[in-house]
């Protein structure tokens, strides 16, 4: 959060610092989290001794 807060052109206004990370994570991080959870459940499912 500190790097993104310093890289913003207007550090005093909290709206750009909150909306840009939210839009960025909703586009890329959201899919990455779903893929990560899918792989965790996928690996965990096959690690169960049948």
> Where in the chain are the domains?
2-47
**pLDDT > 90: percent of the chain:** 0
Report which listed range, 2-6, 19-23, 24-28, is most confident.
Answer: 24-28
- What is the model's pLDDT at position 12? 52
Q: What is the mean pLDDT of residues 7-22?
A: 51
Q: What is the mean pLDDT of residues 1-12?
A: 49
- What is the model's pLDDT at position 27? 66
Write phi, then psi, for 14 (nearest 5 degrees): -75, -15
**pLDDT > 70: percent of the chain:** 30
Dist CA 23 CA 48 (whole Å):
37
């Amino acid at each position: 959060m500190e790097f993104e807060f310093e890289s913003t052109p207007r550090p005093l206004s909290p709206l750009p610092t909150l909306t840009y990370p939210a839009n960025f994570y909703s586009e890329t991080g959201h899919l990455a989290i779903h893929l990560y959870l899918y792989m965790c459940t996928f690996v965990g499912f096959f690690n169960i001794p049948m």
